[in-house]
Amino acid sequence: MATGRTHRPATRSRGIPEATVARLPLYLRALTALSERSVPTVSSEELAAAAGVNSAKLRKDFSYLGSYGTRGVGYDVEYLVYQISRELGLTQDWPVVIVGIGNLGAALANYGGFASRGFRVAALIDADPEMTGRQVAGIPVQHSDELEKIISDNGVSIGVITTPPGVAQQVCERLVAAGITSILNFAPTVLSVPDGVDVRKVDLSIELQILAFHEQRKAGEEAAAQESAVPAPAARRADSTDQGPDGDVPAVMPA
């Protein structure tokens, strides 16, 4: 079986823009859902809506794959699933090592979607001796002293860091020195890596802060809209019966 160390995705050599690469998993997720419902074809408009992009951008992205669909028919769902999976390197086995088996690391280890998407959790690693040998998702946790050997034995090229931020850089450097060339970082810190090593950062707190910004802005817009909807108080108009002989409103109204 092919491993991540001997095969690399073809996207860079084919000149596919990074922005397009970032959208390919969105298309694949939407297409997989259609495939599971046995939908044979899909239009660019339908697929774009399912992926959350506009149809012109989708058609441009697919042109980099050499896929243009058929007028009046649309795109073949199964063929697109294969085509995008191939471009992303998901038609082969990618062994992954997770370092830091706390709550988040354990949750990732238990995630059942890795295998169906071309990834295999090859090893779980933690620095806590009490974690060594403990089974998580049916995989025994191994001590971090064995990190380099584990990577070499399993041909791993993708590492996932779920450690506390204080040790993330040290773990990153050991991963890179052992041959890891792609890192998914969940630790809330910025990692420094040499050229040729790709890092994707996942920071849930930053994503929540961005959502908080949008919520605050929407609340401000709603408040402003409510204020503008309240009519200004009308000026009191004196009736002719309330006026005195000279047109002035008398200080004391007649009984």
Binding site residue list for NAD(+): 100-105
Give residue 113's Cα distance to chain centre. Answer: 15
Q: What are phi and psi of 150, to 5 degrees?
A: -60, -45
**CB-based burial of residue 168 (10 Å sphere; 0-12 exposed, 13-18 middle, 19+ buried)?**
buried
Annotated binding site: 100-105
SS3 category, 145: helix
**CB-based burial of residue 32 (10 Å sphere; 0-12 exposed, 13-18 middle, 19+ buried)?**
middle
CA end-to-end distance (rounded Å), the chain: 105
